[in-house]
Amino acid sequence: MEMLRPLGTLALSKQTLDLLTKNGFTYLEDILKAPEAARRFVGVDELIQTCTPPTAVSALDHWAAELLCQRVTTFSKALDALLDGGFPCGSITELCGAPGTGKTQICFQLCITAQLSQERGGLDSRVLFIDTRNGFSARRLQDVIEGCQSDFPDLKTKLKDFLAGITLVSILTAQELFSTVGNLREYLRKNHQLRVIIIDSLSLPVLCSIENTVVRYKFYVKIFDELQKVASEYKIAVVIVDELITQLDAKGNIGFDSGGGQTVAYRCQRRLMLARLNDTTFAAKIIKSPVQPQRSKTFQVNCGLQSNWPTPHFI
């Protein structure tokens, strides 16, 4: 005997449910048998997609997929070791730290290394950079590019070609961020070379625009639902930057945490906390990883002779 699924078990509004019931649709199977008739009352394609059971794979197949997963390297042995080889495609990594701890610098490095050929340790891909705090600097990127060119003297890619490989989206509010993330899949259908998405920063527009904690929680949930779908479906390395904020516990003790809070902490597969030790020396601690224990590494960013900004000579 066939088991039928009542429409009341689906995430439908009462109005939509009443319309379907009055027109003879009681079960999901009724819609599947007459999709064109049901399309007047509900988005049939989206409904079918959400009701499709997830694909089951063996642990062996999952392990094989992990081994074949591509990564975006930073060319820093210390940072790449913390991330088990680099920022993995298909998942979300958070960079968190106080201002001046190297978060944006690492993002700029990824913008360039992702465009290198696979033979040079890159992905031969394009990058989408979502800037929410007006921190994107073409001058700093130029320094990173010059450092890369000095590392690879035979590299023929020019400055303008590297810059052309980065799509910049500047936003100011949480609603603009929500709309941008919501349109990612449509954008990816037309831009097949995109393999890296950077949001710098995720928490800033949310903290500035949404005061209600419940609304903020729901906002993060929807954002991460879409980001995870994009990362998994298109094998994208998603890197988000979060501010470091102070918090008071129940006893009045002051602590520090990511601006995204526990909601972001739960949804990211990897989390990296950054600190600055002196002008050129930084520290990174992996505080969440499916394969790496919590540990810290130091790395350096050397300054170029003609610039006050660090160039990408990570050590």
Query: What token pair was written down for 167?
Result: 């799509």
The C-alpha atoms of residue 143 and residue 159 are separated, in whole angstroms, by 10
Confidence of residue 243 (pLDDT cuts 50, 70, 90): confident
CA torsion angle for 216, 222, 226, 227 (degrees, to 10)?
Answer: 30
| The CATH number fitting domain 61-314, selected from 3.50.20.10, 3.40.50.300, 3.40.190.10, 3.40.50.2300 | 3.40.50.300
pLDDT at 314: 44
Distance between start and end Cα atoms, the chain: 65
Which of 28, 33, 38, 37 has its CA nearest to residue 3? 28
The C-alpha atoms of residue 229 and residue 285 are separated, in whole angstroms, by 27
Identify the residue whose tokens are 């700093």: 140
Q: Compute the radius of gyration of the chain from its Cα atoms.
A: 22
How large a percentage of the chain has pLDDT more than 90?
Answer: 38
For residue 50, is pLDDT > 90? Answer: no
pLDDT at 249: 67
For residue 174, is pLDDT > 70? Answer: yes
Higher pLDDT, 113 or 148: 113
Domain boundaries, the chain: 13-51, 61-314
- The contacts found for 38-47 with CB under 8 angstroms, 24 or more apart, are 41/16, 42/12, 42/16, 47/10
For residue 178, is pLDDT > 80? Answer: yes
For residue 134, is pLDDT > 60? Answer: yes
Confidence of residue 305 (pLDDT cuts 50, 70, 90): very low
Average pLDDT over residues 101-116: 93
Confidence of residue 313 (pLDDT cuts 50, 70, 90): very low
pTM higher than the cut 0.85: no
Confidence of residue 165 (pLDDT cuts 50, 70, 90): very high
SS3 91: coil
pLDDT tens for each residue of 59-106: 887 777 777 788 999 888 889 999 999 999 999 999 999 888 999 999
For residue 231, is pLDDT > 70? Answer: yes
Which of 264, 271, 244, 270 has its CA nearest to residue 255? 244
The Cβ of residue 46 has, within 10 Å, a number of other Cβ atoms equal to 9
Average pLDDT over residues 273-299: 91
DSSP state of 81: H
